[in-house]
Amino acid sequence: MRPIRTLVLSAITAALLSAGSVTPAQVAVGVDIGVPPVCPYGYFDYAPYDCAPYGYYGPDWFVGGVFLGAGPWFHGPHGFYGHVDNRYDPRNGYHGPLPGRGTAPFQHFQGNEARDGQGHIGTAGHDAGGEHSAGFAGGGRAGGGRGGRGR
């Protein structure tokens, strides 16, 4: 009886030791986000990345008339916070029209909040009151790829 018991204990021990040496599977996840939306005044920083209406983004978000981008396509400088007028955000109840092609650039931006390129609220480091710019002037092209902030 003793040799059978020893054999059974040896088999159990071997099974337990071999189970501990199982190599874990490697998993890789990739997400192809595609090209940024083509919008005359930029797009919201959250899915489904709809076009932002006229006046949502302030001049901080444009360099040489090119939109810095938002969400996964944000190409602004590290630590950037630019002013937005969140009254034009659908998450805050805005149900007005979206921008149309050929719409004249805004001249009277009234920012009331600062956000980074990923939608986080923060401090822009300056007041939005003096921001009066022609905004986006890129002919409907999506922007991005520039690393500075225009004044």
Query: Is residue 126 one of the residues assigned to a domain?
Result: yes
Locate 33 and state its tokens: 């986000």
Q: Is residue 56 a part of any domain in this protein?
A: yes
Q: Is the pLDDT of residue 32 over 50?
A: yes
- Could you tell me the residue range of the domain that residue 65 belongs to? 36-138
60-69 per-position pLDDT tens digit: 999 988 899 9
pLDDT above 90 for 72: yes
| Domain contains 27 | no
Residue with tokens 């090209």: 35
If you average pLDDT over residues 103-109, what whole number do you get? 57
80 or 25, which is more confident?
80
Tell me the sheet residues that pair with 83: 114
- Give residue 91's pLDDT band: very low, low, confident or very high (50, 70, 90): very high
**Sheet (strand 121-122) strand order:** 82-84, 113-115, 121-122
* pLDDT tens, residue by residue, 2-20: 667 665 666 666 665 565 5
* pTM for the predicted model, two decimal places: 0.52
Could you give the number of structural domains in the chain? 1
